[in-house]
Amino acid sequence: MSELPQLAELNEELGDKDVKIIGINVDAIAGDGAGSIAEMVKPILDNANSTMKIIFAEENLVNFIFSRQQAVPYTLFVDSEGNLVGDGYLGAKSKEDWIDIINEEYSKVEQ
């Protein structure tokens, strides 16, 4: 939750690269407590004036994510076709660190 404002800013700033940041909540399976979590996230994104999306993972996505890593936050990069790009990243990062990581992973995607 603490890095949401920075991720929301990055989502806006990186729009010219066709990069979108999407939060995937795995704390509540879609429909099971998702409403209360959405109520907590909305003010954070509103304060950042962000169009960043937060989705609530279905069980199969939660299982896929936790088959790769058993802790959160965990960040994956996917291309426009849904293919994984690079390695996943565990833990929160500073905005500056995310910029470096995003640029590195973006360079791996064929333009």
Give mean pLDDT, residues 57-85. 86
Indicate the average pLDDT of the chain: 83
Give mean pLDDT, residues 9-27. 84
Answer yes or no: is pLDDT of 44 > 80: no
CA atoms within 13 A on the CB side of 37: 17
What residues contact residue 56 under an 8 Å CB cut-off, 6+ apart? Answer: 24, 25, 28, 29, 30, 31, 34, 37, 38
Predicted confidence at residue 70, as pLDDT, reads 81
pTM score: 0.75
| Tens of pLDDT, residues 23-40 | 887 776 656 666 677 777
What percentage of the chain reaches a pLDDT higher than 70?
89
Per mean pLDDT, which range of 15-19, 88-92, 94-98 is the poorest? 15-19
Extents of the domains making up the chain: 4-101
Query: Which structure tokens are listed for 68?
Result: 């790769």
| pLDDT band at residue 42 under the 50/70/90 scheme | confident
